C-alpha cells in the first residue's frame, strides 16, 4: 500500500469541524496557510494570544519523506534513539546517488552496483522501522510525493529543502533537517516558529513564452535569497486557476530559493484534475466537497492587506520570460535585458549544454513544451547547437512520455536521457568537458545554480530558465537569443522564428495511473530485522556521542575560518563526489568548508594554522586543532547555510571540534541543524562587528548563564594584546538550550528516555 487512504478519509471527515472551531476561537477570517497550520498544532495554546505568534509551536505533520542522501544520517541518528518503529508515515526515495554519465539504463545499473551497500542499509532500516521504500530509478522524491502522497490541506515534512514542491497540490510541505525528522519519527512534535505569511497576488493570465517558472524567477528577483525567511508564501488571485498543478509545484519548489519556510496554492480545479489523472479520484472527490476549507476565507481575498503580513503583486499578463544567474538564483534578468547583461558582465555567450528536468521542471507539461519547440525546429530544419540533456522526474513520467513518442523525438535531435533521478542537479554529472577551471556557460531548468553545483567547476556559469526557453536556446546556442523576437538561420539558409510553445497539462491517457512503480512496502513486523553496518565500511559509520557542555564559559576559543560572502550548504559540505560519504561522518568531514572563501586571503580552502603559521586546507587545519584539543569557531556572513537541509553541514564542524558558529545571519534550516548538533549558533548583535574579527584572535564567550533572549558577551583578544568586547545574540528556547547542555538533541532524547 502506497498511501494511507484511511488516514486521509479521517482527516477530511474532521476538517470542517476543526477549521470552524479554530475560526470561532480566533474570531476572524483565516488565510489558507493558517488553516493548515492551526489544524496541525498540538499545543494547548490560546490562539488569539499575540504571544504565540512569536513562539515556537509544536506541530503534528501527516507525513515525512526522505531522500537517500539525507536519509542515511537520519536513520543512523534514529538508530541511536533506541526506538523500534517510526511514529509517522514515512518514505525513503533513492534519487540523489544515481550518476549521469552515459544514459539512463547504463547509469542506473552502475549506480546500483556502486551504492549497493547504501541501498541495502536503507532497505533494511525501512523494513525494520516500517518505512516505505522507493527503489533507485523510481524517480525524484518531490515528483513521487506529488504523484502519490500530497493531498490538499495536509501538512508534510521532508529532509530536503525542496519539499515545498507539494504546495502545488495544496499541501503545506516543509523542508527540515534530518535531526528534526528523527524527533518526529520518534513521536515528538515538529517544533517550528510560527511563520508569517506573504500573500503573492497573481493577476491576469500567463501568455506567450511566459511560464510558471517565470513567476518564481521573477519573485526570486523581488525577494532575494533570504527575502522570505521565516515566511510561508501563499499565492492567490485570478491568475492562480490558469496555472496547472505541476506548474504550481514548480513555483512552490523554488520558494526554497528565497528562503521560504513553505509555499502553497489554494485548492482548485487544476489540482482536482491532477489528483484524478494520477489515480487519486477518491481524494479529489473528498477535497471537491470541502473546497471552501481548502483555501482562504472569502474575506481574506476581499481584503488581503489585512490578512497577510506582506503582499506582492505579479501581473501575469505582462510577465516576461526570465533567465536567472549566474551563481545565484535570485539574479533575475528579463529575457529582453539578457543581451545587455551578457555584454556588460562579460559572461561566456556560447551555451555549451542545456539541461531540463529535475524535481523542479520535469512534469509531462514541461516536457511537452520542450517537445513543441523541437517539433517546430524539425519542421523549420534547425539543428541543436548545444548539448541537450534530460532527467525525467519519475518512472511514471518517463513511461508516459515514452508512450507519447517524446523519448524518440528527444533522441532524434541528439539529446541524452538520464535516469529518473537528481543527476546533474546535484553534481552527479560526469560532464564530457572536464576541465575544472574553464569559464563556460550552461543553462538549465533546475532550481539552483550555485558555483560548482552541477559539474564541480566553479567557473561554470549556470543560468536558470523554463524548459521551453532552455530548449529554444540550445537551438541557437547563444545566451543572448530571445526566441520571441530573434530569428535563426536554418540548414538551407532561411531565417526562421519560433512560435510560442504549446503544452498539454496531462494527456488523456488511461495508463498514467501506473501504481507502485519502484515502490516496496516494509515488512509488517520488523522487530527481528537487524541493520548490519560493516565497521570497516567507508560509506556507513555508526555515530558516536558528541560531548556535553560543562556549563562553564567557553574560553580560549580560536578561529577556524572567517568566511567571506555567500556560504551555502554546498560550500560547507559539498555534494557531487562527496555524496557517497553521506552515511560516514568521518569521511565526509574531509570536505568541511572546502568551497568557502577565507575572508583574510580571499582564497578557497586555504586557511592559516595559527600555531604553525602554515596555510592548509580547512579540514586538515580543523583536524590539527582537534588533535590538540583546541575548541574552534567559524565566523560567517549573511544567510549562512542557505540552500539544502543537509545536516552534515552542522555535524562535520561539530565532529572536527567547532563549538560555535557566529554569523551576520543564518538560513532557517541550517540554524536549527547547528543547534541540534550541539553547536552554539550565534548572530552578531551589530553585524558590523564581523569586521572586528581578526585571524589570530582569542575568543572568550561568557555563556555560563545561557538563557532564552539573553545576549552573550564576547571578548576578542587581538594578537597585539588589544581587547574588544562585542555582544552576540541567539534564538534558543528552553528546550534548545537543553540540546546544547546535553551536547546534541540526540543525547537529550536518549537521556530523556
In 3D space, the residue among 479, 321, 454 whose CA is nearest the CA of residue 389 turns out to be 454
Among 447, 452, 621, 744, the residue binding ligand F3S under the rule CB under 6 A is 447
Task: Rule CB under 6 A: choose which of 422, 557, 574, 712 binds ligand F3S.
Answer: 422
Strands 658-663, 680-684: parallel, antiparallel or unpaired by DSSP? Answer: parallel
Q: Which of residues 518-537 bind ligand F3S (CB under 6 A)?
A: none
Give 492: exposed, middle or buried? Use CB within 10 Å, 0-12, 13-18, 19+.
exposed
Q: Decide if residue 104 touches ligand F3S (CB under 6 A).
A: no
Residue among 571, 646, 659, 730 flagged as catalytic:
646
For residue 163, the minimal CB distance to ligand F3S (Å) is 9
Residues in region 74-103 near ligand F3S by CB under 6 A: 95-96
The distance of closest approach from Cβ of residue 677 to ligand F3S in the complex, given in angstroms and rounded to an integer, is 22
Catalytic residue among 322, 444, 448, 571: 448
Query: At its nearest, how many Å lie between ligand F3S and the CB of residue 132?
Result: 17
> Is 644 annotated as catalytic?
yes
Binding mask 108-127 for ligand F3S (x = CB under 6 A): --------------------
Q: Alpha-carbon distance 354 to 384, whole Å?
A: 10
The correct pick among 233, 359, 517, 633 for binding ligand F3S (CB under 6 A) is: 359
Q: Is 358 in the site for ligand F3S (CB under 6 A)?
A: yes
Stretch that binds ligand F3S, among 120-128, 219-227, 343-351, 419-427 (CB under 6 A): 419-427
Cβ-based nearer residue to ligand F3S, 259 or 657 = 259
Given the rule CB under 6 A, which of 18-26, 422-430, 598-606, 653-661 is the region that contacts ligand F3S?
422-430
The stretch near ligand F3S (CB under 6 A) out of 139-147, 332-340, 601-609, 680-688 is 139-147
Nearer Cβ to ligand F3S (140/656): 140
Question: Could you give the string, one character per residue 320-339, with x where binding to ligand F3S holds by CB under 6 A and - elsewhere?
Answer: --------------------
Query: How is residue 535 written as a grid cell?
Result: 565497521
Residue 157 interacts with ligand F3S (CB under 6 A)? no
Confirm or reject binding of residue 162 to ligand F3S (CB under 6 A). yes
Number of residues forming the site for ligand F3S (CB under 6 A): 14
The residue annotated as part of the active site, out of 370, 466, 644, 667, is: 644
Selection from 261, 44, 40, 87 nearest residue 188 by Cα: 87
User: At its nearest, how many Å lie between ligand F3S and the CB of residue 51?
Assistant: 37
- Residue 481 near residue 472 (C-beta atoms within 8 A): yes
* 96 flagged as catalytic: yes
Contacts within 8 Å (CB) and 24+ apart, 496-500: 496/380, 496/382, 498/373, 498/376, 498/377, 498/472, 499/376, 500/208, 500/209
Active-site residue flag, 646: yes
Region from 123-131, 140-148, 151-159, 632-640 binding ligand F3S, contact rule CB under 6 A: 140-148
Contact 181, 292 (CB under 8 A): no
Rg of the chain over all Cα atoms, to the nearest angstrom: 25
Gap between the Cα atoms of 162 and 170, Å rounded: 15
551 is catalytic: no
Among 272-280, 421-429, 523-531, 577-585, the segment contacting ligand F3S (CB under 6 A) = 421-429
Report the Cα 322 to chain-centroid distance in Å: 21
Question: Per rule CB under 6 A, is residue 70 in the interface with ligand F3S?
Answer: no
CA distance 530 to 611: 46
Of 456 and 526, nearer to ligand F3S (C-beta) is 456
Calculate the alpha carbon distances from 140 to 136, 166, 231, 392, 564 in Å: 9, 13, 26, 9, 33
Nearest CA-CA partner of 407 in 381, 382, 429, 374: 374
Least distance (Å) from ligand F3S to the CB of residue 392?
Answer: 11
Q: How far apart are CA 747 and CA 636, in angstroms?
A: 27
The number of helix segments (H) and strand segments (E) in the chain equals 26, 30
By CB under 6 A, residue 589 contacts ligand F3S: no
Residue 160 binds ligand F3S, judged by CB under 6 A: yes
How far apart (Å, rounded) are the C-alpha atoms in residues 183 and 647? 14
160 tagged catalytic: yes
Longest CA span, the chain: 79
Nearest to 3 by CA among 278, 322, 339: 278
User: Is 238 assigned a catalytic role?
Assistant: no
Q: Which of 139, 73, 83 is nearest to 108 (CA)?
A: 139
- Cβ of residue 161: shortest distance to ligand F3S, in angstroms? 8
Task: Report the C-alpha dihedral over residues 610, 615, 620, 621, rounded to 10 degrees.
Answer: 10
Which residues are identified as catalytic? 95-96, 160, 448, 644, 646
Query: Site residues (CB under 6 A) for ligand F3S?
Result: 95-96, 140-142, 160, 162, 358-359, 422, 425-426, 446-447
Amino acid at each position: 500500500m502506497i498511501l494511507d487512504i484511511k488516514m486521509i478519509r479521517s482527516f477530511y471527515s474532521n476538517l470542517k469541524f476543526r477549521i470552524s472551531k479554530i475560526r470561532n476561537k480566533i474570531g476572524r477570517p483565516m488565510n489558507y496557510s493558517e488553516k493548515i497550520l492551526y489544524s496541525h498544532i498540538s499545543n494547548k495554546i490560546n490562539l488569539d494570544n499575540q504571544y504565540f505568534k512569536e513562539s515556537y509551536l509544536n506541530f503534528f505533520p501527516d507525513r515525512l519523506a526522505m531522500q537517500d542522501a539525507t536519509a542515511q544520517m537520519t536513520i543512523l541518528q534514529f538508530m541511536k534513539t533506541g526506538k523500534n518503529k517510526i511514529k509517522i508515515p514515512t518514505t525513503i526515495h533513492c534519487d540523489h546517488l544515481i550518476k549521469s554519465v552515459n544514459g539512463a539504463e547504463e547509469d542506473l545499473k552502475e549506480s546500483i552496483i556502486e551504492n549497493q551497500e547504501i541501498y541495502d542499509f536503507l532497505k533494511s532500516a525501512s523494513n525494520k522501522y516500517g518505512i516505505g521504500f522507493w527503489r533507485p530509478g523510481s524517480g525524484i522524491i518531490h515528483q513521487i510525493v506529488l504523484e502519490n502522497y500530497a493531498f490538499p490541506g495536509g501538512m508534510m515534512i521532508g529532509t530536503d529543502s525542496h519539499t515545498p514542491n507539494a504546495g502545488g497540490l495544496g499541501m503545506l510541505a516543509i523542508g527540515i533537517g534530518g535531526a528534526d525528522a528523527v524527533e518526529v519519527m520518534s513521536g515528538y512534535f515538529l517544533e517550528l516558529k510560527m511563520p508569517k505569511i506573504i500573500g503573492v497576488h497573481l493577476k491576469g493570465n500567463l501568455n506567450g513564452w511566459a511560464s510558471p517558472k517565470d513567476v518564481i524567477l521573477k519573485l526570486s528577483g523581488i525577494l532575494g535569497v533570504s527575502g522570505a525567511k521565516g515566511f510561508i508564501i501563499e499565492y492567490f488571485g485570478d491568475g492562480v486557476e490558469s496555472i496547472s498543478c505541476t506548474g504550481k509545484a514548480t513555483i512552490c519548489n523554488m520558494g526554497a530559493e528565497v528562503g521560504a519556510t513553505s509555499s502553497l496554492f489554494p485548492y482548485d480545479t487544476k489540482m482536482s484534475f491532477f489528483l484524478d489523472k494520477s489515480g487519486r479520484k477518491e481524494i479529489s472527490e473528498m477535497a471537491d466537497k470541502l473546497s471552501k476549507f481548502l483555501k482562504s476565507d472569502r474575506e481574506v481575498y476581499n481584503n488581503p492587506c489585512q490578512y497577510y503580513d506582506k503582499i506582492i503583486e505579479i501581473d501575469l499578463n505582462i510577465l516576461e520570460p526570465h533567465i536567472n544567474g549566474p551563481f545565484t538564483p535570485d539574479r533575475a534578468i528579463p529575457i529582453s535585458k539578457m543581451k545587455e547583461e551578457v555584454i556588460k558582465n562579460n559572461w561566456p555567450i556560447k551555451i555549451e549544454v542545456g539541461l531540463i528536468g529535475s524535481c523542479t521542471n520535469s512534469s509531462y507539461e514541461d516536457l511537452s513544451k520542450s517537445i513543441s519547440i523541437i517539433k517546430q525546429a524539425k519542421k523549420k530544419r534547425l539543428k541543436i547547437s548545444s548539448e541537450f540533456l534530460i532527467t525525467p522526474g519519475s518512472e511514471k513520467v518517463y513511461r508516459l512520455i515514452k508512450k507519447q513518442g517524446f523519448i524518440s523525438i528527444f533522441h532524434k535531435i541528439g539529446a541524452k536521457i538520464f535516469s529518473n533521478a537528481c543527476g546533474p542537479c546535484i553534481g552527479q554529472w560526469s560532464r564530457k568537458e572536464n576541465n575544472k577551471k574553464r569559464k563556460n556557460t550552461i543553462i538549465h531548468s533546475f532550481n539552483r545554480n550555485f558555483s560548482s553545483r552541477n559539474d564541480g567547476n566553479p567557473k561554470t556559469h549556470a543560468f536558470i530558465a523554463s524548459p521551453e526557453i532552455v530548449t529554444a536556446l540550445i537551438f541557437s546556442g547563444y545566451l543572448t537569443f530571445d526566441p520571441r523576437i530573434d530569428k535563426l538561420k536554418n540548414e538551407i539558409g532561411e531565417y526562421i522564428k519560433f512560435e510560442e510553445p504549446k503544452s498539454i497539462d496531462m494527456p488523456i491517457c488511461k495508463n498514467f495511473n501506473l501504481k507502485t512503480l519502484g515502490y516496496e512496502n516494509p515488512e509488517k513486523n520488523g522487530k527481528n530485522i537487524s541493520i548490519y553496518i560493516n565497521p570497516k565500511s567507508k560509506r556507513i559509520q555508526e555515530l558516536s556521542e558528541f560531548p556535553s557542555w560543562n556549563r562553564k564559559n567557553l574560553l580560549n576559543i580560536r578561529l577556524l575560518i572567517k568566511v567571506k560572502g555567500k556560504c551555502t550548504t554546498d560550500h560547507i559540505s559539498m555534494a557531487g563526489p562527496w555524496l557517497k560519504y553521506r552515511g560516514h561522518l568521518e569521511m565526509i568531514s574531509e570536505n568541511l568548508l572546502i568551497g568557502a572563501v577565507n575572508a583574510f586571503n580571499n582564497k578557497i580552502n586555504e586557511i592559516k594554522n595559527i600555531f604553525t603559521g602554515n596555510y592548509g586546507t580547512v579540514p586538515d587545519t580543523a583536524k590539527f586543532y582537534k588533535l590538540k584539543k583546541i575548541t574552534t569557531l567559524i565566523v560567517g556572513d549573511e544567510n549562512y547555510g542557505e540552500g539544502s537541509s543537509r545536516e552534515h553541514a552542522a555535524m562535520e564542524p561539530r565532529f572536527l571540534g567547532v563549538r560555535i558558529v557566529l554569523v551576520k545571519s543564518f538560513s532557517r534550516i541550517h540554524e536549527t541543524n547547528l543547534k541540534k548538533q550541539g553547536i552554539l549558533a550565534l548572530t552578531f548583535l551589530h553585524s558590523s562587528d564581523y569586521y572586528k574579527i581578526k585571524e589570530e584572535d582569542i575568543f572568550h564567550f561568557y555563556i555560563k548563564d545561557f538563557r532564552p533572549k539573553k545576549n552573550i558577551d564576547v571578548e576578542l583578544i587581538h594578537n597585539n594584546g588589544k581587547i574588544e568586547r562585542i555582544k552576540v545574540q541567539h534564538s534558543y528556547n528552553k528546550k534548545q538550550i537543553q540540546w546544547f547542555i546535553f551536547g546534541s538533541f540526540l543525547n537529550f532524547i536518549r537521556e530523556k528516555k
